[in-house]
Amino acid sequence: MLLNDVGLSFTQLRLFSEAAECYEQALPLVTSKPHRLAVVLQNLGAVHNTLGQFEEALRYHREAAALHGSLGSRGAQGRCFSNLGFALVELGELEEAWESFLHAQQAFRDADDPSGQWQVCEGLGGIKLQMRDPEKATHYYKDALQLLCQCQEVSSSVQERLVSKLSEGLQQKLLLQQVICLSVRMTAVRSDMKQDRRETLEKRTHGGNSHTVTSGDRKSTSEVMMSSDYHLSEENTAETNDLTALPKANSGQPSVRSEVTPPSNQPDSNEATPLTRRLTSRFCAVM
């Protein structure tokens, strides 16, 4: 369709507002043609992602995914779910984004599309890092690297990016383990100190030949309590300082990002999208 093709040309020129206008003008012309409607909706959602208009993009992603699914176009449906997952991540809806990426992953598996699968795994790994779950994040990054080996003409920068993210996940995993071990040790130390304090107080109160506590005993007891409290405070301070050692996951920048890539020539093509530094919103052309 002419308007969709013009919109794709604007997209390639990075004139995204003009591309969005073309897609919107095409919508009423394809309402009776489900396949073309799905393509235009997919492209509208992708261009809104690129413009940062994520709230507006959600409806187009969902409608396009549903239409592609009803038409049996699993690869295109996977791309729509992937675009939806990215938009939800940007809106901070991590649980919904997680579900969308899982739907995309299954769709790409059904379509035997390793290119789509590794990009979804990268997105899932990014979400798990934001959720402070480096164990699962590293699992998905490893899967992404394995799937990447099945793809052709993949730039070395993509592999380097995934290796870097895997390294980040492993570092966070190690720090988390260290914090847990430290917390266990601090709990044990505090428990021992409290027990020693109780035993000391009991000896001061009930020890000796008399049941009456002398002024000297009271002074000693007070000194013991002050000493115990002082060391306990030191331990608490050490625990607080150590527990802040774990860096925030994905500090400052979201783990999942999007850029526009050149459109495919077929509406349900499994050909790998040119890979950039960030996850891409997928566009589609009409056959």
248 found inside a domain = no
Average pLDDT over residues 119-135: 95
Q: Are residues 77 and 101 in the same domain?
A: yes
C-alpha distances out from residue 190 to 171, 204, 284, Å: 29, 21, 62
CA atoms within 13 A on the CB side of 61: 28
What letter represents residue 18's amino acid? Answer: E
What are the phi and psi torsion angles at 35 (to 5°)? -65, -50
Residue 57's closest CA among 89, 35, 28? 89
Collapsing DSSP to helix, strand or coil, 191 comes out as helix
Least confident of 43-47, 147-151, 212-216, 223-227: 223-227
Domain that holds residue 272: 2-170+254-281
DSSP structure string for 84-120: HHHHHHHTT-HHHHHHHHHHHHHHHHHTT-HHHHHHH
Average per-residue pLDDT in the chain?
78
Q: Domain count for the chain, please give it.
A: 2
Q: Are residues 236 and 180 in the same domain?
A: yes
What pLDDT sits at residue 119? Answer: 95
Q: Are residues 123 and 259 in the same domain?
A: yes
Q: What is the DSSP letter of 152?
A: S
Spatial contact of 105 and 117, defined as CB atoms under 8 Å apart: yes
231 found inside a domain = yes
Position 118 pLDDT exceeds 50: yes
Instruction: Read off the pTM.
Output: 0.65
Q: Are residues 68 and 208 in the same domain?
A: no
Q: Are residues 219 and 152 in the same domain?
A: no
210 found inside a domain = yes
Q: Kindly report each contact of residues 94-102 with a partner whose C-beta sits within 8 Å and lies 24 or more positions away, as own/partner.
A: 94/127, 94/130, 94/131, 97/123, 97/127, 97/256, 98/124, 98/127, 101/127
Torsion of CA 176, 177, 180, 185, to 10 degrees: -140
Judged on CB neighbours under 10 Å (0-12, 13-18, 19+), 200 is middle
Q: Residue ranges of the alpha helices (H) in the chain?
A: 2-12, 16-26, 34-50, 54-70, 74-90, 94-110, 114-130, 134-148, 156-206, 215-243
Provide, rounded to the nearest whole percent, the portion of the chain with pLDDT above 70. 72
Q: Are residues 78 and 138 in the same domain?
A: yes
C-alpha distances out from residue 79 to 25, 71, 210, 237, 271, Å: 23, 14, 84, 50, 12
Q: Which of 80-89, 164-173, 242-251, 259-268 has the highest mean pLDDT?
A: 80-89
Q: Are residues 141 and 73 in the same domain?
A: yes
77 found inside a domain = yes
286 found inside a domain = no
Write the CATH number for 277. 1.25.40.10
Q: Are residues 137 and 59 in the same domain?
A: yes
- Report d(CA 59, CA 50) in Å as an integer: 15
**Choice between 224 and 164, residue whose per-residue pLDDT is larger:** 164
Residue 61 in tokens: 């992603």
Q: Are residues 20 and 82 in the same domain?
A: yes
**Span 142-198, pLDDT tens digits:** 999 999 999 888 888 898 999 999 999 999 888 887 887 877 778 877 877 887 788
Q: Are residues 90 and 124 in the same domain?
A: yes
